[in-house]
Structure 1
Amino acid sequence: MTGSPNRNRQAERREATRREVVETAWDIARAEGLACVTLREIADRIGMRPPSLYTHFESKNAVFDAMFADAYQQLYEEFAAFDLTGSPRAVLDQIATVFFDFATADIARYQLMFQRTLPGFTPSASAYEVSRRLYDLLENAMRTAGVTDPDDLDLWTAIHAGLTSQQLANDPGGDRWRRQLVRVVDMFCDAAQVPDTFPDRST
């Protein structure tokens, strides 16, 4: 006996096609820019007639929506994988490095996630929920490091968005602003009065 009697092969094929469409859209975005992603170009690359593609994605924005959710899921998995050990500053160093390396590795992905460069595109509630889960994960990690003030969290995200944008705009593929990460984290910790050690949780 092979396979599972409860397998839905049609659903599996549909999901595989959707995955291929999203990966192809990323390939186009990385090579030519997000604005060059079209359903016709995707269909041509995967050998599908455009009307057939519409049975999987009703519009170009639906493809962008799937890409948006996919990107945030990737970053969520990056953050979920690491162990928050060491001092609070070491934890923040790790958070900063994971975000910076992820963000600068793929400019098209960064633009879709953070820069709203596509006129008329707004993430759906379900796609936005993936980004919300990421922010909750980040917020919990920051809280572990002793950062609880919402203003401090806003400052943290603004600082690292600025560093990332500078790196992508002025030294793509380099490390000019990556070298500033430890220094920036130290400055943030001083301003936000981040403790040197974790509080004793045994009491």
Structure 2
Amino acid sequence: MPLGKERRQAAARAEIVGACWELAREHGLSGFTMRQIAAAVGVQAPSLYTYFESKHAIYDFMFTEGNAAFRDAMRSVPTLEDRREQLRVAARAFVDFCLADPVRFQLLFQRMIPGFVPSPQAYAPAVEAFESMRAAFARIDITRSEDLDLWTALVTGLVSQQLANDPDGDRWLALTDAAADMFAAGLECSRFSRQTN
């Protein structure tokens, strides 16, 4: 495929996906149709299939974009020596990323679209983000899989509660540092308990 054609196709795909993000923010992730997408970009609906084989293929592209942004945001979290401060900074970064775009959060972390399963390619940046977190936490002596699972449940739960119950406020957002401190204290108690048993 000639380079000019590749660029035009990439630009068209980006325009379609951009329109989908906007439609998702207006109507919900599964609340818009291929016809609405086509109208948003000024083409006939069948033309969309030149660029994406299905609506799920568009979601897959959106999932890739969202996870790449997530990976980059998590990689930019500063590395600190103090465990509690590192956890606070990591929690704030995660919560801020998610609350910046609730629709993206739903796509990445809540699986709101019936029948949509991300491809391995779309999921790869999420794996990279998790591995970055694993490496950062290993530097502060957090290495058990159970602890990492608990951490992800804790911070994702904060975001879910905030979006569901106080979307324009900060009721759960304000608990981010306290949640990180609670997690750190729980780790210390758990380790002490394992050492004494």
Q: Check whether TM > 0.5.
A: yes
- Structure 1 residues 37 and 140: alpha-carbon distance in aligned structure 2, compared to 1, 3 A threshold: farther
Asked if residue 10 in structure 1 is aligned to residue 29 in structure 2, the reply is no
CA–CA distance in structure 2, aligned partners of residues 122 and 84 of structure 1: 33
Deviation digits for residues 47-103 of structure 1 (CA, Å, limit 9, x no counterpart): 112222101001000001111111111111111223213522211111100110111
Check whether the contact 2:60–2:118 (CA below 8 A) recurs between aligned residues.
yes
What residue ranges of structure 1 are gaps of 5+ in the alignment? 1-6, 195-203
Aligned to 2:117: 122
Aligned to 1:188: 183
CA–CA distance in structure 1, aligned partners of residues 87 and 181 of structure 2: 9
Task: Provide the aligned length of Structure 1 versus Structure 2.
Answer: 188
Aligned to 1:25: 20
Aligned to 1:72: 67
Of 161, 168, 177, the residue aligned with 1:166 is 161
What residue ranges of structure 2 are gaps of 5+ in the alignment? 190-197
Asked if residue 155 in structure 1 is aligned to residue 123 in structure 2, the reply is no
Aligned to 2:193: none
- Structure 1 residues 124 and 27: alpha-carbon distance in aligned structure 2, compared to 1, 3 A threshold: same
Matches within 5 A, 1:3-152: 8-152=3-147
Q: How big is the alpha-carbon RMSD for the aligned residues of Structure 1 and Structure 2?
A: 1.5
Check whether the contact 2:38–2:45 (CA below 8 A) recurs between aligned residues.
yes
CA–CA distance in structure 1, aligned partners of residues 77 and 102 of structure 2: 23
Give TM-score, length-normalised by structure 2: 0.90
Q: Secondary structure at the match of 1:164?
A: helix
Deviation digits for residues 89-125 of structure 1 (CA, Å, limit 9, x no counterpart): 2111111001101112222111111111111110011
CA–CA distance in structure 1, aligned partners of residues 76 and 152 of structure 2: 20
Q: Secondary structure at the match of 2:50?
A: coil
Identity of aligned residues (%): 40
CA–CA distance in structure 2, aligned partners of residues 60 and 146 of structure 1: 43
CA–CA distance in structure 2, aligned partners of residues 80 and 160 of structure 1: 17
Check whether the contact 2:81–2:140 (CA below 8 A) recurs between aligned residues.
no
Moved more, 105-114 or 118-127: 105-114
